[in-house]
Structure formats: structure tokens, C-alpha cells
Structure 1
Amino acid sequence: MGTVVSIELADDLPPARLTELVGATCAWLHEVDARFSTYKDDSEVCRFRSGALRLEDCSADLRHVLDRCADLWRDTDGYFDAYASGPLDPSGYVKGWSVEVASQRLAAAGSVRHYIGAGGDIRMRGAGPGGRPWRVGVRHPWEADKLAWVLSLTDGAVATSGTYERGAHVWNPVAGRPASGLCSVTVVGPDLAVADAYATAALAMGEPGLSWLAKRVADGYESAAVTDDGRAFTSANLPIAP
């Protein structure tokens, strides 16, 4: 998925079991990469968008992703669009979704205290080492060695979308141009797939995304954002570390 994944298990389980759980998680993420890669001609996504694979013959995972991307397109007034760049590219949903599913699988297998990070997408469950909350640093948009915020939470997801590493890679599909106005958006909430999509959509909206994010608080999604000219905004209950 074009990023490094880190996994930390804080459960009091035998080392062999912890190793087994990490291996299973990595296997799942490699499976997702093979199925949803837009760079591998034999991936399921590439075969579907080329017409070589019919919708009814797609895996349950791909059909789920297509349905959720359609839902999020409606929920974001078209700013989250898996077709924003032309051909189908559900990557903006898949990374967060795959980590969310990985966390659910770990919990079902007995790991109730863990951290999975994939680039700017992070899912935490239970307490961290020593029984303390997990701490997540949100990178400063212009100074790579500094943090804009440090978040503290036990159960939840953190997704950050920004232009500071890969430039203007987020497209505003409504205006038909690269996104501008916001250089960093972080969303915190109960589901990483949704948080990731919301962060991407708000970044695509530009500054109007600030008021759109404020309306997501009622659904349990807090946020932080930095504008292109350096102004910072946070929702009232963002879990900033003391």
C-alpha cells in the first residue's frame, strides 16, 4: 500500500502467540495489497476496472469497498470520490479499512490491547504499555522534526491526510483541480475507514472542510486542521494529551 506498517501488541500473552498474531496481521495486509493494488495488472481492482472481471464475480471484500465508497461519495457531497483521478482507485478507503479490519481480527483472536499504524492511519484498541493511553503525534506540516499535536486515547482511530509529504496529491473532484486551502487534516473517531475518508474529503474541500468537519462531531468524529497559511483549528473534544 505504499507505506510502512507498524504493529505493537501490549497484551499479556505468550511470545509465540504474539508472534503468530503479528504474522497473521501482516498476511492480511499483504492480501489486501495484492487484491486492491492499482499498480499490479493482475490485482482484482485492475481486472475489474479493465472489464476483465464482472461485478458479480468480484470478491466480497471488493464489493464491500465499492459499496462503502459509493456511500461516502454521497455522505461527502462528492468530495470523496474513488473515481476522482479517472479510473477506479479506492485506495483512499482501502488503507484505513484494511487496518480497521486487522484490528477487529486481532481483537477476535485475543489481542485486546494493540496499536497498528500505516502511514497516517492508526488504530488503537485497549490500553497501551503500562496500562496508559496510547499517544499519537501529529506531524507539524512544515517542520518534520516537530509535532502539531499529541493525542492520547485508548480505543479509537486517528487518520491524517496532508500535502506536506507528497505535495498536491489530493484532488478536488467537485472543482476539478488539486485540493488547496488546507495542508493537514486529522480525524479521530471510532472507525478508521470512516476517519480516513473524512480526512481525505475535508482536505479536498479546502477551508469549507472546516465547517463540514464540525458537523461530524455529532457522529463521534473529532478533528484538527492546519490551513495553507498556517492557522490551526481543533474541535472541542479532540483528545489532546495533557
Structure 2
Amino acid sequence: MRHASLFTRRRFLTIGAALAGTALLPERLRADGIGLREWRGVALGADACLQLAHPDPAEADRLIRLCLDEVGRLERLFSLYRPDSALRRLNRDGALADPPGDVLRLLSEAVAFGRRTDGAFDVTVQPLWQLHAAHFGRPGADPEGPPETAVVAARGLVDYRALRVGPERIAFARRGMAVTLNGIAQGYVTDRVSELLRGQGMDRVMVDLGEIRALGSHPDGRPWRVGLKDPTAESRLSETLEIADRAVATSGGYGTRFDAAGRFSHLFDPATGHSARHWSAVTVTAADATTADALSTALSILPASKAEALLSGFPGVTARLTRPDGGVLRLAA
């Protein structure tokens, strides 16, 4: 079996490719009537893979189509780039009446993670992203980044506590605020797909939609294997994790760099308005992908002492933090 790779893209695009057929399996699995059906393609802007242990290839393909339909449905709600998405309408209008259930649920969870991380995770950092994208998108942009006055102004629009989330209306308390779900939505979508498959009776599944969740173990009885890309050389793996009934998410500044030198990335510290540079990559394992995704984002902007204190509030979660020099700090709650 191949190693599933972690990617740190933070954009939602479209789903591509078709069913890729059955994976190659050891003969003893085939003799037991177990088939590992595999789809590989692109989902949510990242290389994606679904692996289902099922004896009936046609039924496995039907389940995969259900999963891809669910990913498409959720992308239409959460995308920053689709003009008709619920998130785009919220950012454009400053409010969203009668929000769809998944938008309400995800934003409620996002605000809760804001509270639990003391603001290290904040979905309202989009004004900082917009500022830096506009600055570095201009010819001859100052390599030192936007003026500090502009950073201060954008940071004044960043505050998860000013996001009002209710079943009848979601709204910003300040004009000019905006939300990005790129630090949590991939984990959320991964969880929804995983729960869809669990509801269909599947208990040996690997879902890789950029963030990863495993239901049960590999059909040969061992854990699923997840390869972590080396942030200094993405062509090689820095480590292989073995997981069962766990989720894995990675965040890294190399996912979206605004400048050629890599000094400015999408991982903004809400407290300063500047890109965090403590770690080159942060990998979190947790019981669900939403938690792993949000915490990998939050830990990415914290120094070691604060990262350890934060993780202590999340029992059962582990983190692997890679320093720019390649050193690794391992934390466990």
C-alpha cells in the first residue's frame, strides 16, 4: 500500500479525476474476499484518496460517489472563491440569514476553538490574508511587507469574539470583517465523509482529503500508514505514522507563501497581524480531523512554551512540531 501524504494547501477548488479501480493487495486478502477499493483524484484543492475495504467493488464505487457528492456539497457552502457560496455571501454582506446547518455547525465549532485556544485559532484572519495578497500581488512590492499601519488596521478586524453565530443569523460585529475556513474546513469535511461511511456500515476506511482520518485498521490487521512530508524537501518523507481510529492534520507556512523568500505566509498570528515563523510544520493527531486541523493551525503560531500549555487542554491529542532548523518537538496532552 502507498503512504498517504499530507498536504498543506489552504484553498478549496473542485473535485477531479474518476474512480481509479482496486488497489493491489496481498493475495491472502483477496482469498478472504476482502477488496480494498481506492479512488485517487483532487478534492478541496489537494491530492485526495479514499480507500474502502469492501468485498463488492460496485457497492464500494457507489459509496465513493456518495462521498464525492458530499465533498462537493460542502465545498459549495465553504468556498472562498465560489461567488454563490454561503461563506462568500457572509463576507460580502456582513451577515447571513438562515445559515445552512453545516455552516452554523462549523462556525460554532470555529468560535469554540477560538475560546479554547485563547484566540490562537481565529477564523476572522481573512483581512490579513487579503492585505498581504494585495500587497505582494502588486509589481515592485516592498519585500518587507505591507506598512505596519495597514497591518494594524487589518488586525483591528480580527476577533473571533466579534463573530455572532446563531441559528437564525450569522453576522459580524464590525464592518469589514471576513472569515476564512481554510484552517478547519478540510478537517470538518473529512469528518463528514468519514461519518457518512460509518453510517453505511464501513469500519475499515482511510479518508485523505488533505487532512486524514482512519476508521478502524487496515484490512490486513495492521494500522493505516500516513507519510509526513519533510517541510525542507517535499520529495521525501520525514516520518511515517501508524494510525487506527485517529485523524492527522498538518499545517505549514510553505502551504501558501506570499513572497519568494518565504518570510510571509498564510499562518497569521492574530495577536500581531504578522506571519508566524516558529515552526516549519506542525502535525497533530486527534480523535477527529476537525480538531486536528484547528489545532495544527493554532499551534503553528505559538512558541514552544505556549504550544505545550495549549495542548494540555486537549487530552489524547499529540503534536509533532518541526523547527526551521529541522529539529522536532513532540508534545502529548
Q: How does the TM-score come out when normalised to structure 2?
A: 0.66
Residue 204 of structure 1, aligned match among 284, 301, 304: 301
Specify the structure having the higher radius of gyration (Cα): 2
Q: Which amino acid aligns with 1:184?
A: A
Contact 1:179 1:206 in 2 (8 A): no
C-alpha separation between the residues in 2 aligned to 1:101 and 1:47?
Answer: 23
Q: Which has the larger helix fraction? A: 1
Give unmatched runs, 5+ long, in structure 1.
238-242
Q: Which amino acid aligns with 2:102?
A: D
Q: Which amino acid aligns with 2:51?
A: E
Residue 171 of structure 1, aligned match among 248, 258, 268: 268
Distance 1:77 1:53, change over 3 A: closer
Aligned residue number for residue 206 of structure 2: 115
Aligned residue number for residue 240 of structure 1: none
Aligned residue number for residue 224 of structure 1: 320
Contact 1:136 1:152 in 2 (8 A): yes
C-alpha separation between the residues in 2 aligned to 1:42 and 1:208?
Answer: 42
For structure 1, which segment, 57-66 or 166-175, has the greater mean C-alpha deviation from structure 2 after superposition? Answer: 166-175
Aligned residue number for residue 43 of structure 1: 85
Deviations 1:161-202 (A, max 9, x none): 112343322111111101111111010010110111000000
Residue 52 of structure 2, aligned match among 9, 34, 49: 9
C-alpha separation between the residues in 2 aligned to 1:99 and 1:180?
Answer: 27
C-alpha separation between the residues in 2 aligned to 1:210 and 1:72?
Answer: 14
> What's the RMSD between the two structures over aligned residues?
1.8
For residue 91 of structure 1, report the CA deviation from its aligned partner.
Answer: 2.3
Distance 1:16 1:81, change over 3 A: same
Runs (4+) of structure 1 moved beyond 4 Å?
none
Q: How does the TM-score come out when normalised to structure 1?
A: 0.90
Deviations 1:6-60 (A, max 9, x none): 101123x3111100000000000011111111111111111122228633x1111
C-alpha separation between the residues in 2 aligned to 1:48 and 1:143?
Answer: 38
User: The residue matched to 1:220 in structure 2 has which SS?
Assistant: coil
Aligned residue number for residue 15 of structure 2: none
User: The residue matched to 2:185 in structure 1 has which SS?
Assistant: helix
Aligned residue number for residue 193 of structure 1: 290
Identity, % of aligned positions: 29
C-alpha separation between the residues in 1 aligned to 2:275 and 2:332?
Answer: 29
C-alpha separation between the residues in 1 aligned to 2:185 and 2:306?
Answer: 22
Give unmatched runs, 5+ long, in structure 2.
1-11, 13-44, 128-177, 258-264
User: The residue matched to 1:130 in structure 2 has which SS?
Assistant: coil
